[in-house]
Amino acid sequence: MSKTKTSKTVHLTIDGQNVEAPKGAMILDVTPGLGVEIPSLCAHPGLEPFGACRLCVVEIQKPGWDDWYKQLVTSCLFQVEEGLKVWTNSDEVRQNRKVVLDLLMARVPASDVIRDLGNQYGVTKTSYAEVDTEDTCIMCDICVRACHAIGRDAIASMSRGPDKYVDVPDKDACIGCLVCANLCPTNAIPFTANDNGKRRIWGKEFDLVTDERSGEVLGTTEYIEHVRKRAEDKGLLCPEDMKHESARVKRYGYAQKLSHVADVEEPIEEVK
Amino acid sequence: MTSSNGKPFGSVKNLLKRAEKILKERKKLKQEIRVCAGPGCIALGAKDIHKELCKQLDDHKKELEAAGLELNVTLSEKCTGCHGMCEAGPIVTIEPEGTFYTGVKPRDTKKIVEKTLLKDQLVDPLLYQLGHHRGGGKVKHYADIPFYSLQLRVALRKVGVVDPTNFDDFLAEGGFQAFAKAIAEMTPEDVIDQVEKSGLRGRGGAGFSTGRKWRSALRVKEDRVWLICNGDEGDPGAFMDRAIMEGDPYSVLEGMMIGAYALGATDAWIYVRHEYPLAVEHLQMAIDKLTNAGLLGENILGTGMTLNVRISRGGGAFVCGESSALMRSLEGKVGEPRAKYVRSVEKGLHDEPTVLNNVETFTCVPAIIDKGAEWFASMGREKSKGTKAFSLVGKVKHTGLIEVPMGRTLREIIFDIGGGIIDDRPFKAVQTGGPSGGCLPAGKLNLQVDFDTLADAGAMMGSGGMIVMDDHTCMVDVAKYFINFLIGESCGKCVPCREGLYQLYDLLNKITNGEGKPGDLETIETLCHTMEVASLCALGKSAPYPVTSTIKYFREEYEEHINDGVCRAGVCPKLIVYHINDDCNGCEVCRKHCPTNAITGEKKKLHVIDPDLCISCGICKSVCKFDTIDIMSGGKIVSRDVVA
Amino acid sequence: MTPSKKAGVGSPRSGAKTSKTKKKNGAGKNASKVILAATDEILAHYPLEEASLIMVLQELNDQLNWLPPKALERVAKKLNVPFGKVQGVATFYRAFSLKPKGKKTVKVCTGTACHVRGASMLVDELKRSLEVEPGEGISEDGNFSLETVNCVGACAMAPVAMIGDHYYASMTPGNIAKMLKKEKPE
């Protein structure tokens, strides 16, 4: 421990590969580029680690542990350590991902994203009681957290346990920025991006503002007002993190529609 | 009620002087009569008894005065916290003799005053009757009742002894001696040393070493350390912390004050469960009193120590017993547990270092400081020192609150202290550790109870609930009960817990409805494994224990439900039918009470239940005075007593 | 035997559950004035910050017996907490009710001790006779709501029902009618 205290990087192995990683980083964050694939639905580099979906589980072993002893941890929430060994695709890992996906397939039978992932882990039909719903929300709270990051807090999760759901109780707080819908891993938030200058989401209709010269859609009136105020208050124009979102999410293949908020011009994939 | 004539004590010496003075006054007391005001006794009318008793004593005094006589003996009365033997309530005890009266009614108080207090005679009908299996007989003193004589009270040492609303009373019983000792004679390091050496492990469930926790918080050099006392006792069937907070709030606070001294904490919270209004009342009263007396607030006893204690009422969420969820709740947020990589001793409440301990843990601390770490460590077992409070409930004769040294066997606790099973029916299982615990069968009765033995057996110490079950308890139904409880309490954040519990309930529900299929048990086991290893917090990780432990020890009961559609305990409504036997004398009571008119029959003639109309509500059985209604499952009568 | 409350996991997210109900009851403006006055009175005792939220809601719920949307809006504004968060907290904790309640609430303890002694039969019988679900609805005469509580800490008298401060010990389905008759207001 004392050795690593001063140094800024640690050394670990991931599926046998030697990896040098910055101290304090989570396992999931250091895997890109290693050719290992850890599925995850609720993680997002622009947001605090959350640990809701439990898909990104991996097995770890710390130095000094008995050879046979490994522990299952969520890679989005586990910090890298000196000498750590990580297995991202062991039988135990696959088995638990399989059960999680099995459960999700029962919860959101209408979701293609979940079904495709489930198929990858050998679940073609759920072992559990299917919920009769067209809804595809898996309560990962990405929308809630993103809305908070943007500074609106319009979306909140309600109730608890299996009754948990996501809602916008105060419609006035929603600015129609579409970040929630864009980041949703299971395309669960229905919206219309541009219908003759109108945008609809969360049961609310917005007027879109178009750049007069280029004809580019800039966003809703409320969104532009919010960005302007935020720039005044905090010197922030928009959450930078939202930009490099698309690359990451595309890589996992969960959603093709993601892009920077202001880029949304065309109704990419409208849900209902 | 006045303690320090309204003035703060100002110094440790003054506090000790005051305690001495009260003790001297107390010596003049001839007798003290204590009315139990625990939740059970209050429900049975303890308050009226106390009122009546005060009146009787007053009347007596007036009589003497009228006759020109002076009262040559001083009698006093008080309401105390729970005495523990709730099923015998309302309880009245008389000290110093230790006379123990049970089932007292307001009209009995006259006799108690006239006979026992004034003439030293016993009121025979109120004495405790020993069970027949012990050869009967009445017991005069509670020290002779096995329920009490086999106990050893440390955390509960003052519960049932002191008046929880009276600071002087607490001082008279040795209160604040430990705090005075700590602050005057010990360094914070000494205090932590003693707590660590005592081997005290957290009483809230996880059993982490309290001393080590404190030490690790000390290492985090930050300006502010928060101290939190967890009184969010959420386990159903557990009420130890409630009894302590209601019956001895000063000890909880004394423990917190010693902890604050050791850690240098200046701000503390007590998080009390929503359902415990009396605990909040008593704790607040104690905090106010201590603040006025200069024992809380700034410059405590002139030492420069500062401590402010505030109470927060929980919002009614079991998950808030989990420490990180509790801290979110204190911040005014939804009680969702936090990822574990953040340690609360480093970043807890408001992202500041935080030490959280349970009510019982804090209450043990003054006793350790007072009597020394060696004394505490001399009790219990090698890795689980000291004593543990349990609430012993369910199908046991003497339900109530008990405390025993670690290492007592389940058999001693259930049969010697608890007096065995109601109606001497066969013992089937004991459930320990609340919803996250497990059910242990008769084969485990010789298990010596401590943190590790219970965990090894697939159960848990938990906060100390012990629910005894007899042969009329269906183990599948019990597992379903706990899962249903947990569904309502899961925060819903992570998938294995939220969806897993939902599906687990669905599977168990099908089994209890006779719709189980072969293979269900394997599906359940696979699911339980993932919930155990992949859930986010302790609630989810331990949520499958009630199921895994019942499958482990009572697998044949599950299989009977699935394969034969039989519930041998006669509990699962879809698998049982009610049937009136030939002893029926046609009293018509059941027919009149049946909500679905499923019972037909003429007066004085055998009645019959139409199974198609019957909804198995059980009303007929509960109203039949002649016990002529049987429960059948799989063609066999399952409701009849196996034991004659 | 207590059936799970849920028909399906989660709920439709069509906004059906949003608190901004349009329903106006007879008392109308007057009632909302009372509500807001009570809310302001309570808010005056607390620092206006997020940490006070739960305590304020508790006092409100104690006083009004439920949390009317108007009160929640006021609390959100005064404590400067987004309304969504207030709504989230109000729906998360058991202690809060987002619907008005009957004159009296029958609480059935469903702690483990009560369960093994037959509490679920009490719940079933109460559901039948009051025609309400636990935590939902008011009996037709407006008198009673039904609730289940995890443990009231009176395990020795299991199974237990509570109305107000009064405990009904060792209850059976057979004497529920008697209890309701006795507790009927007026």
Q: B107: which DSSP letter?
A: T
- Residue from B341, B506, B513 whose CB has the most chain A CBs within 10 Å, to mutate: B341
Measured in angstroms, the CA of A215 and the nearest CA of chain B are apart by 43
One-letter amino acid of B94? I
Neighbouring CB atoms inside 10 A of A247's CB total 11
Residue B375 burial (10 A CB sphere; 0-12, 13-18, 19+): middle
CB-CB contact of B8 with B154 (8 Å):
no
Give the tens place of pLDDT for each residue, C148-166: 887 777 777 788 898 877 8
Top-confidence range, A42-46, A58-62, B172-176, C29-33: A58-62
CB-CB contact of C140 with C17 (8 Å):
no
Angle CA B463–B468–B470, to nearest 5: 160
Angle CA B438–B444–B447, to nearest 5: 100
Over residues C67-71, the mean pLDDT reads 92
Nearest to C54 among B39, B332, B617 (CB): B332
Query: Which tokens is C102 given?
Result: 């009957």
String of b and e for A32-53 (b: at least 16 CB within 10 Å)?
eeeebebbbbbbbebbebbbbb
In chain A, which residues have their Cβ closer than 8 Å to the Cβ of B499? 103-104, 106-107, 162
Residues in chain A whose beta carbon is closer than 8 A to a beta carbon of chain B? Answer: 49-55, 57, 72, 74, 77-79, 95-96, 99-100, 103-104, 106-107, 127-129, 138-139, 141, 157, 159-164
Neighbouring CB atoms inside 10 A of A243's CB total 15
CB contact under 8 A, C92 and B334: yes
Angle CA C98–C99–C105, to nearest 5: 110
Model pLDDT, residue B69: 66
Nearest to A162 among B317, B334, B492 (CB): B492
Measured in angstroms, the CA of A194 and the nearest CA of chain B are apart by 33
Model pLDDT, residue B638: 85
CB contact under 8 A, A104 and B495: yes
How far is it, in rounded angstroms, from Cα C71 to Cα C34? 10
In chain A, which residues have their Cβ closer than 8 Å to the Cβ of B504? none
Model pLDDT, residue A213: 76
CB contact under 8 A, C151 and B239: yes
The residue whose two tokens read 């969104």 is A223
In chain B, which residues have their Cβ closer than 8 Å to the Cβ of C157? 40, 43-44, 86-87
- Say which residues have a Cβ less than 8 Å from residue A65's Cβ, sequence separation at least 6: none
Model pLDDT, residue C6: 35
In chain A, which residues have their Cβ closer than 8 Å to the Cβ of C14? 203
User: In chain C, whose CA is at the least distance from the CA of B396?
Assistant: C156
Give the tens place of pLDDT for each residue, A211-259: 777 777 888 889 888 877 776 665 544 444 444 433 333 333 333 233 3
Is residue A264 pLDDT above 70, yes or no? no
User: In chain A, whose CA is at the least distance from the CA of B522?
Assistant: A127
Helix ranges, C93-175 (H) = 112-116, 119-130
CB contact under 8 A, A96 and B534: yes
Is residue C20 pLDDT above 60, yes or no? no
Report which of residues B220 and A149 the model is more confident about.
A149
CB contact under 8 A, A138 and B495: yes
In chain C, which residues have their Cβ closer than 8 Å to the Cβ of A163? 5-6, 9-11
Gyration radius (Cα) of chain B, Å: 27
> A residues 126-165 near C, CB within 8 Å?
131-133, 135, 137, 139, 152-160, 162-165
Report which of residues B133 and C22 the model is more confident about.
B133
Model pLDDT, residue A217: 81
CATH, range C104-183: 3.40.30.10
The residue whose two tokens read 């059941």 is B590
C174 shares contact with chain A (CB less than 8 Å): no
Report which of residues B114 and A199 the model is more confident about.
A199
Residue B499 burial (10 A CB sphere; 0-12, 13-18, 19+): buried
- Residue from B487, B502, B541 whose CB has the most chain A CBs within 10 Å, to mutate: B502
Task: Give ranges for CATH 3.40.30.10 in chain C.
Answer: 104-183
Measured in angstroms, the CA of C26 and the nearest CA of chain B are apart by 31
- Say which residues have a Cβ less than 8 Å from residue B618's Cβ, sequence separation at least 6: B578, C118, C121, C173
Model pLDDT, residue B54: 87
Model pLDDT, residue B367: 96
CB contact under 8 A, A133 and C14: no
CB-CB contact of B489 with B546 (8 Å):
no
Partnered with residue B312 across adjacent β-strands are B271
CB-CB contact of C50 with C81 (8 Å):
yes
Nearest to C112 among B315, B465, B593 (CB): B465
A227 shares contact with chain C (CB less than 8 Å): no
Nearest to A170 among C5, C12, C83 (CB): C83
What does the mean pLDDT of chain B come to?
Answer: 88
For residue A200, name the pLDDT band (cuts at 50, 70, 90): very high
CB contact under 8 A, B431 and C112: yes
Backbone angles phi, psi at B405, to 5 degrees: -65, 150
CB contact under 8 A, C83 and A169: yes
Order of all β-strands in the sheet with B99-101: B74-80, B29-36, B92-95, B99-101
Domains of chain B: 12-142 (3.40.30.10), 167-377 (3.40.50.11540), 387-470 (3.10.20.600), 475-564 (1.20.1440.230), 576-637 (3.30.70.20)
How far is it, in rounded angstroms, from Cα B490 to Cα A69? 29
Is residue C56 pLDDT above 90, yes or no? yes
CATH, range C28-92: 1.10.10
Mean pLDDT in consecutive groups of 10 residues from the start of chain B, 644 residues: 61 91 83 85 86 86 76 72 84 87 89 83 84 65 85 92 91 93 94 94 85 87 85 82 93 96 94 87 95 93 93 82 86 81 78 91 96 94 91 87 92 93 91 86 93 87 87 93 89 94 96 94 96 91 92 95 93 90 90 88 91 86 88 84 38
Secondary structure in 3-state letters for chain A: CHHHHHCCEEEEEECCEEEEEECCCEHHHHCCCCCCCCCCCCCCCCCCCCCCCCCCEEEEECCCCCCCCCEEEECCCCECCCCCEEECCCHHHHHHHHHHHHHHHHHCCCCHHHHHHHHHCCCCCCCCCCCCCCCCCCCCCHHHHHHHHHCCCCCEEECCHHHCEEECCCHHHCCCCCHHHHHCCCCCCCEEEEECCEEEECCEEEEEEECCCCCCEEEEHHHHHHHHHHHHHHCCCCCHHHCCHHHHHHHHCCCCCCCCHHHCCCCCCCCC
Task: Give ranges for CATH 1.10.10 in chain C.
Answer: 28-92
Partnered with residue B201 across adjacent β-strands are B209
Query: Which tokens is C80 given?
Result: 């400067």
3-state secondary structure of B577: strand
Q: Distances in Å between the alpha carbon of C75 and those of A11, B424, C58? A: 50, 56, 12
First to last CA, chain A: 54
Query: What pTM does this model have?
Result: 0.85
Backbone angles phi, psi at A52, to 5 degrees: -95, -40
In chain C, which residues have their Cβ closer than 8 Å to the Cβ of A149? none
Domains of chain A: 2-26+38-89 (3.10.20.740), 91-136 (no CATH), 174-263 (no CATH)
β-pairing, A191-195 with A198-201? Answer: antiparallel
3-state secondary structure of B355: strand
For residue C23, name the pLDDT band (cuts at 50, 70, 90): very low
- Say which residues have a Cβ less than 8 Å from residue B27's Cβ, sequence separation at least 6: none
C22 shares contact with chain A (CB less than 8 Å): no
Neighbouring CB atoms inside 10 A of B58's CB total 10
User: In chain A, whose CA is at the least distance from the CA of B509?
Assistant: A129
How far is it, in rounded angstroms, from Cα B625 to Cα B641? 16
Nearest to B526 among A99, A157, A159 (CB): A99
CB contact under 8 A, C112 and B394: yes
Is residue C27 pLDDT above 90, yes or no? no
